[in-house]
Structure 1
Amino acid sequence: MATNNNMQRKAAFISGMALLIMTLADFFSQGYVHSSLVVNGDAVTTLENIQGSQSLFRLEILGWLIILIADLIVSWGFYVFLKPFHREYALLAGWLRLLYTAILAIAVSHLIIANSTLQESVTGEALAQEVMRSITAFEAIWSVGLIIFGIHLIVVGLAAMNTNKIPKVLSILVILAGFSYFIIHFMYGFIPHLEGFTGILEMILIAPMFMGELGFGIWLLVKGRKLTND
């Protein structure tokens, strides 16, 4: 039992750290670089932005690679931490996170392809369209992955609900974040004609989407690593 408690506390700390690192990397790669370089529907301007900041674009890719590694760590950490509370949910959450990470890896490979395309002899409009296709593929595949990510968070929240050691409000926040990710990205992927409404809904749900997993990560660092199952 002591060994299990020790592993659970280590998993809480490692997962919490990985989530914080992931959040910082996401702020940089998606929130700063990607959103400033990529102009939706304008391949030429996007290409000019990237060509003018190729080092920054490569740093974005590095950020995504860091996120991938952190996701693998969280997959393991969540399983170990949640297993004593609900083994089946913990196992399902771990596998869903791994599936999401695999989808994200496929998405990020398209950014790597875009970077490689910049080194080719193609120029002008043809180059702009080719780079934009890769970036669009990244965004579309990642969005599909976030549907899986949302289901993962729902399962994590349900596992957390099975113990009094984790605050119920935190468990509810994680579940709400999961539903938000699922609904938003399901609508983007499968109901594209409602994109305007989906964008408004995303702005409304951005707070729970952000607070759910990050709040759980902070709790794991501060409180989770002190838990015992006595």
Structure 2
Amino acid sequence: MHSLNRLARIAAVLYLLIAVIGPFSIIYVPSTLVVAGDAAATTSNLAASTGLFQAGLVGYLIIFLAEIVLTVILFDLFKAVDHTLSMTAMAARLAMTIIHGLNLLSLFVVSLLASGAAYLSVFDPAQLDALVLLLFNAHDLGYTIGIVFLSLHVMVLGYLVYQSGFLPQVLGILLVLAGLGYVIDSAGLLFFDSYLTTPFYVAIPIAIAEVAFPLWLLIKGVKEEALPKAAPQPA
């Protein structure tokens, strides 16, 4: 049996790895390349920063691998608290990772469109530019859909933390609030054109929870003596 604290600290390292690489691939790269509503400028930026774009793709792949391992470890940490809810949290986070992984195909298609291959000559430059911007926008939508599943994961995880007895209940409350924040943010981005940026009252709980939880796991760990006996798995 793995030490609970060992698992907790591995989870923390993976969380922090995602937290470091995520802003680069998810925020910095697209904000540098994509010019909203201007397909020609977006394609021009892409041509001038191919290395940056490819680095963003590599970052995404690292994130997805880390997400898979993190998801399994979190299940292992909390399965004794509530096996069914731990399975639910795992399924939701894996669903997000699968959606985001498939969604990355749109960015690899962008690479193909920017390659200058001879078969693309059937498109005129304006059409290619429009396709590139369309795929960037489609990727944004796919990413947001994935966050819907993350919101379920984070809320269930928050409940498990609250009930665990081996982590502070305040961390569980913060995670539930963060999950609600993800719901508000993803719904706003998907269904309301006027919702352009995440409001501070949504961003702050998310930021606090997503920083406090892994740092607590890394620095303080968990109270192994408070670990409940594993509940019997459902038939």
Q: TM-score surpassing 0.5?
A: yes
Segments of 5+ residues of structure 2 without an aligned counterpart are 228-235
> Aligned in 2, Cα 1:86/1:223: closer, same or farther, shift over 3 Å?
farther
Residue by residue, what CA displacement relative to the aligned partner does 1:29-72 show, whole Å, maximum 9, x if unpaired? 12321211112222111111111000000001111111101110
**Higher CA-based Rg:** 2
State the partner residue of 2:202: 205
State the partner residue of 1:130: 131
After superposition, the CA RMSD in angstroms is: 1.7
Please give the alpha-carbon distance, in whole angstroms, between the structure 1 residues aligned to 2:36 and 2:223: 46
Structure 2 residue 32 is matched with structure 1 residue 32? no
Please give the alpha-carbon distance, in whole angstroms, between the structure 2 residues aligned to 1:226 and 1:58: 42
Please give the alpha-carbon distance, in whole angstroms, between the structure 2 residues aligned to 1:200 and 1:53: 25
Matched residues, percent identical? 26
Aligned pair partner of 1:51 in 47, 52, 57? 47
Please give the alpha-carbon distance, in whole angstroms, between the structure 2 residues aligned to 1:54 and 1:203: 33
State the partner residue of 2:37: 41
Residue by residue, what CA displacement relative to the aligned partner does 1:184-226 show, whole Å, maximum 9, x if unpaired? 112221x23xx32x33553431121222223211111112256
Deviation at residue 128 of structure 1 after TM alignment: 0.8
Segments of 5+ residues of structure 1 without an aligned counterpart are none
2:166–2:223 Cα contact (<8 Å) kept: no
Aligned pair partner of 1:218 in 212, 215, 219? 215
Residue by residue, what CA displacement relative to the aligned partner does 1:4-37 show, whole Å, maximum 9, x if unpaired? 5x1x223211111111000111121123212111
State the partner residue of 2:183: 182
Please give the alpha-carbon distance, in whole angstroms, between the structure 1 residues aligned to 2:207 and 2:30: 18
Count of aligned pairs between the two proteins: 222
Please give the alpha-carbon distance, in whole angstroms, between the structure 1 residues aligned to 2:93 and 2:208: 18
Q: Which moved more, 1:143-152 or 1:217-226?
A: 217-226
**Could you tell me the TM-score, scaled by structure 1's length?**
0.90
1:10–1:225 Cα contact (<8 Å) kept: no
Which protein has the bigger helix share?
1
Deviation at residue 80 of structure 1 after TM alignment: 0.7
State the partner residue of 1:153: 154
**Could you tell me the TM-score, scaled by structure 2's length?**
0.88
State the partner residue of 1:82: 78
State the partner residue of 2:233: none
Please give the alpha-carbon distance, in whole angstroms, between the structure 1 residues aligned to 2:178 and 2:128: 38
